[in-house]
């Protein structure tokens, strides 16, 4: 419920793209890669979402 409210607020103030599913990915991304300044300058948001779907941390860390 909280993410739905945040989604509505961000969408009205900033614009589209803040779906609940995207907010969940953003949170997971922050929790997984918070120590890194950047994972890679060549990756885009779709790539990050794909990386988050890799369950094995060792395999995922290859891209850091």
**pLDDT at position 37, please?**
61
**pLDDT at position 38, please?**
59
CA distances, 17 to each of 37, 49, 62, 63, 64 (Å): 23, 14, 28, 25, 25
Q: Indicate whether 61 pLDDT > 80.
A: no
Q: What is the rounded distance in angstroms from the CA atom of residue 9 to the CA atom of residue 35?
A: 28
Predicted confidence (pLDDT) per residue in 3-56, tens digit: 999 999 999 999 988 999 999 988 888 887 766 665 566 778 888 888 888 888
What is the pTM for the complete model shown?
0.62
**pLDDT at position 5, please?**
95
């Amino acid at each position: 419920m909280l993410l739905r409210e945040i989604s509505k607020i961000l969408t009205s103030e900033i614009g589209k793209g803040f779906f609940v599913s995207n907010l969940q990915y953003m949170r997971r991304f922050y929790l997984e890669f918070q120590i890194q300044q950047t994972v890679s300058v060549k990756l885009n948001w779709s790539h990050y979402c794909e990386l988050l779907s890799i369950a094995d941390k060792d395999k995922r860390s290859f891209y850091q």
